[in-house]
Amino acid sequence: MPDLAWAVPAAIALAVAVLVVAVVVVAVRLQRRSPRARAAAAEAVSVAAASLLALDEAVDDLDLAFEAADALDAADLPTDLRRARTTAHRARDRGFGDVLTLEADTGVATRRRDQARRTGESLNAQREQIATMRTRLSEWAQEHRSPDRLLAAARDRRDELVATSGDPEPLIAALRARFDHADWAAAASAASAASAALAAADAALDRAARDPVGDHLLHATASLRRAGQHLRAVEDDHRIALQAADNADAEVAAGRVELDEALGVATARPDACQPGAAERLRSAAAELDDAAASASRRPREAIATVARVREDRDALLGDAVSMRRRLEAARAALPGTLACARADLAAAEMRDAEAGDAPGDGVPDDASRIARRLRVERARRHLAEARAATDATRALAAARAAWAATR
């Protein structure tokens, strides 16, 4: 029989090696998921989001420079500049998608950290390319555009904006005559902001006429852009309020019928529903009655109440109703929910523009600006998903996600 004395130490050594490897693997995995690793990943995501904010503003400034140089649709604009601007827009859109994905990532912290760092580096590189493009655009404009031509083009844009938008005061007056303060206050604020922006644009244009070398045309272009945003906000608020008034009574009536049916299901099958479903549905019916009583003066609130009640109803009933009934409920709820999501998104975009107008201490810090823009972008993407969906249930889920992102 062969001597096996050597096997015992070898086996022990092998076991120890395996144990060491296992300990190392576990330690590495714990380290990759440790609080410190998660904090480092969160910090890297924040840095990437700050880079995205800087790129977003750089692209906006680039668009202003193109417009001030009368180059947005210019036939004589070099192809490389046109393509570079398109590339910058695509990089910004891709950056928003990347950062939103990073924010939602709950996987391995070190992998998230590394991806965030790569994303930030890519965004910073694109911003450097935009700076180069700005220089190239300035050189081209100096060669192909005279100060008089640029000033005349800016005045034409100002006159066209006023002519196409018209006077917002009749729209405000119509809203005041029919609705409560809550349904026209935002439109009135936007009208005042538009007037202030137009005045700022006129002052900048006058300065540009006296001093063609300064950045006055850029300031005028920025003010005209803000004025256009505010004037569109007035039109949007007017349209949204009138559409809500046209649909509020029908939506409230349909919501009542649906709540009565839901209460019947919750009473007959309480075990299949969320705890306390029947009582919560009765409370929702009371909310609907309150909304109905003021629907003529607050139609937007009535539409929003119906949409919230339907969302609560779906959560309370769950699988207590058939797939066919859930699909029918989704089809009924989708138009009102989309209307609420679009209205709240428009309001969020307007708040973003107004925050950019605020001077001095009114300007929010970078973290707030980043969070706000990411919420707006998240809502836009959910709305696009809702529009693209062919199934009513998926479309409704996306519309509700868009609405939740802006509330």
Residue range 126-151, pLDDT digits in tens:
999 999 999 999 999 999 999 999 99
pTM over 0.85: no
The band of 52, judged by pLDDT with boundaries at 50, 70 and 90, is: very high
Query: What is d(CA 407, CA 402) in angstroms, rounded to the nearest whole number?
Result: 9
Q: Which of 231-240, 345-354, 379-388 has the lowest mean pLDDT?
A: 345-354
Given a cut of 50, is residue 26 above it in pLDDT? no
Each residue's pLDDT tens digit, 172-207:
999 999 999 999 999 999 999 999 999 999 999 999
Token pair in block for residue 46: 């924040």
Query: What is d(CA 120, CA 375) in angstroms, rounded to the nearest whole number?
Result: 19
Task: State residue 36's pLDDT score.
Answer: 87
- Indicate the domain borders of the chain: 32-145
Distance of CA 7 to the CA centre of its chain: 67
Structural contact between residues 259 and 306, judged by C-beta atoms closer than 8 angstroms: no
Task: State residue 360's pLDDT score.
Answer: 47
Task: State residue 6's pLDDT score.
Answer: 56
Task: Report helix angle 216-268 to 277-293, nearest 10.
Answer: 130
Given a cut of 60, is residue 125 above it in pLDDT? yes
Task: State residue 320's pLDDT score.
Answer: 87
Query: What is d(CA 194, CA 217) in angstroms, rounded to the nearest whole number?
Result: 18
Task: State residue 265's pLDDT score.
Answer: 93
The band of 60, judged by pLDDT with boundaries at 50, 70 and 90, is: very high
Residue 25 or 315, more confident:
315
Each residue's pLDDT tens digit, 112-122:
999 999 999 99
DSSP-derived letter for residue 215 is: S
- The label of the residue with tokens 């989001």 reads 49
Report long-range pairs for 386-392 (Cβ below 8 Å, ≥24 apart). Answer: 386/334, 386/338, 386/341, 392/327, 392/330, 392/331, 392/334
User: Terminal CA-to-CA distance of the chain, rounded, Å?
Assistant: 82
Structural contact between residues 270 and 203, judged by C-beta atoms closer than 8 angstroms: no
Task: Please report, for residues 13, 16, 109, 291, the alpha-carbon distance to residue 22 in angstroms, rounded to integers and kept in the order given.
Answer: 14, 10, 21, 63
Given a cut of 80, is residue 229 above it in pLDDT? yes
Query: What is d(CA 207, CA 225) in angstroms, rounded to the nearest whole number?
Result: 18
Each residue's pLDDT tens digit, 293-343:
999 999 999 999 999 999 999 999 988 888 999 999 999 999 999 999 999
Percentage of the chain with pLDDT > 70? Answer: 89
Given a cut of 50, is residue 27 above it in pLDDT? no
Closest CA to 223 of 195, 248, 245: 195
Mean pLDDT of 31-48: 83
Average pLDDT, the chain: 89
Each residue's pLDDT tens digit, 254-271:
999 999 999 999 999 999
User: At 95, phi and psi to the nearest 5?
Assistant: -65, -40
Structural contact between residues 134 and 81, judged by C-beta atoms closer than 8 angstroms: no
Task: State residue 206's pLDDT score.
Answer: 96
One-letter amino acid for residue 170 of the chain: P
The string of DSSP codes covering 107-174 is S-HHHHHHHHHHHHHHHHHHHHHHHHHHHHHHHHHHHH--HHHHHHHHHHHHHHHHHHH--SHHHHHH
Given a cut of 80, is residue 63 above it in pLDDT? yes
Query: What is d(CA 402, CA 384) in angstroms, rounded to the nearest whole number?
Result: 9
- The label of the residue with tokens 């919501």 reads 255
Query: What is d(CA 407, CA 404) in angstroms, rounded to the nearest whole number?
Result: 5
Each residue's pLDDT tens digit, 355-401:
655 544 444 577 888 889 999 999 999 999 999 999 999 999 999 99
Token pair in block for residue 206: 């006058």
Q: Please count the other Cβ atoms lying within 10 Å of the Cβ belonging to residue 70.
A: 20
Provide the Cα torsion 97, 99, 101, 103; round to 10°: -150
The band of 246, judged by pLDDT with boundaries at 50, 70 and 90, is: very high
